[in-house]
Structures are given as structure tokens and as C-alpha cells.
A = this chain, B = another copy of it.
Amino acid sequence: MTRVSQKIQPFSQECNDCPIRHRAVCARCEADELTLLEQIKYYRSFEAGQTVVWAGDKMDFVASVVTGIATLSQTMEDGRRQMVGLLLPSDFAGRPGRETSAYDVTAATDLVMCCFRKKPFEELMIRTPHIGQRLLEMTLDELDAAREWMLLLGRKTAREKIASLICIIARRDASLQLNASDGELRFDLPLTREAMSEYLGLTLETVSRQVSALRKEGLIVTEGKRQIVIPDFDLLLEETGDDSDGGFLI
């Protein structure tokens, strides 16, 4: 049993529409709450590259990702960009109690989001406190992920950053698709080199070079454009600089 499979916490796919992702139990989705959510929800689709909202724009909804990948980014006046959030299916976007978006929200791939109008959602939160509780849990998880990310940005080398990102995606992907066969791990890396560079605080040239380096050393195998195979997850994990156990759980 490899370290990957140990760490995976599968959660029910059927709950993607629920604004609060469930890690395990779906029964907590009480019927009336779901009915209320039903009434205020609507779907929006975006093509890869499209912007969902710009930083500073009005954002009168909260949403959860159904399929695809969305990113949160900040931009400096001179154009330097840093990704600060990566939203995979079932992840939540938007902040109750805030009028405008603090970040650019962008579709990294084709994207479907399940949106809930903010006002009624906030009212629902007051009526059903366990939505707030779950939101708190999720926010604390995101904060932990952000702090792991800060370590990556502040202290890791380019090589370690790339290895870390691949491991993070692999884990998340595995936990979504439950395709973790021991040893080898195959998945889609659905980010462009540019998106990866924005995630990692590097330039896209450096990303390209380091990916090539890992490929040449056999730590990863690339098939076609975006498909990645990790022959030995533990071996790649050693390149991340992370503590070999404990580690992060994103």
C-alpha cells in the first residue's frame, strides 16, 4: 500500500452540487436544506481561459465547482500575477458577507459551476447553522492548504515546487477518481505551463525546464500533451522537500 492510497479521503461524487463539500458522510444533507438550496441555485458554464469574475467586480453569488478547474489569482499593477487558490470539483468559491470578489476567478479548463445567489444563501446559513459549521471546516482546510502553499512559495526550489505541484494534483485527482492503483499513478495535468508558473511563483520557462528534467530522470512520464504518469509516487515525493510522513493533506 503506497502513501497515496493511505492518504486519500474519498468523498461522494453525488454531492458536487452541494455548496459545502462533504468529506465522508452525505446523509447530513437533510432534505429540506437541499430543497431550499434547489430554489436558489443555477448553473453557469465557462470555456477554458474565460474569466468568471474580475477582482473588484461585484459578485452576488457563491458557487461550487461541478466539473473542471477554476483558479483564484491576484494581479499587481505591473502585471505580475500570483495564483492564490486552485478550485477542483466540489471546491467552494465566494465569501459570504462580501460584496465584491477579492480575486480574479478564471476557468483553467472548461468549467461548470453551481451558483447560489448570495443573499438567500446567507439567509439559509443563518437558519441552518450546520452549513456554517461545514463552511468553517472547509475554510480551515483551505487555510491549512494556503499555509502549505506559503512554505512552497517562500522556501522551495523550482524543482521542489514542480514535484510538489504534481504530487498535489495527483493526490486530489486520485481522491476524486478513486483510480489509485498501487505504485503507478496516471492522471491529467490540466494546467498550462503558464498556469503552473502562476501557481508556483516561477516563470513558465523555468516550469518547462524542470518538468523536462523530471521527465529525463524518469521520475515522471508524459504521454501526449497533458497526461502524466508517475511510475513511483514515493520517489517523486522525495523531490518535494516535504516531510516524508505526516505531510499535507490538501
Contacts and interface: CB of A to CB of B under 8 A. Distances in A.
Interface of A: 56, 72, 74, 76-78, 80-82, 84-85, 95, 97, 102-103, 129, 132-133, 135-137, 139-140, 142-144, 146-151, 153-155, 200-201, 241-244, 246
The 3 A-B pairs with the shortest beta carbon distances in the complex, nearest first, are A154-B201, A153-B153, A84-B147
A76 to B, nearest CB: 5
Contacts of A147: 72, 74, 84-85, 102-103, 146
Chain multiplicity (copies): 2
A150 B139 contact: no
B155 A76 contact: yes
Nearest to A72: B147
A72 B133 CA distance: 24
B151 A150 contact: no
Nearest to A142: B143
A200 B153 CA distance: 10
Nearest to A133: B132
Contact of A82 (B81, B129, B150): B150
A155 B102 contact: no
A176 B200 CA distance: 34
B151 A243 contact: no
29 contacts: A56-B246, A72-B147, A74-B147, A76-B151, A76-B242, A76-B243, A77-B244, A81-B155, A82-B151, A82-B154, A82-B155, A84-B147, A84-B151, A85-B147, A102-B144, A102-B147, A129-B129, A132-B132, A135-B136, A136-B139, A139-B139, A142-B143, A143-B146, A146-B147, A146-B150, A153-B153, A153-B201, A154-B200, A155-B201
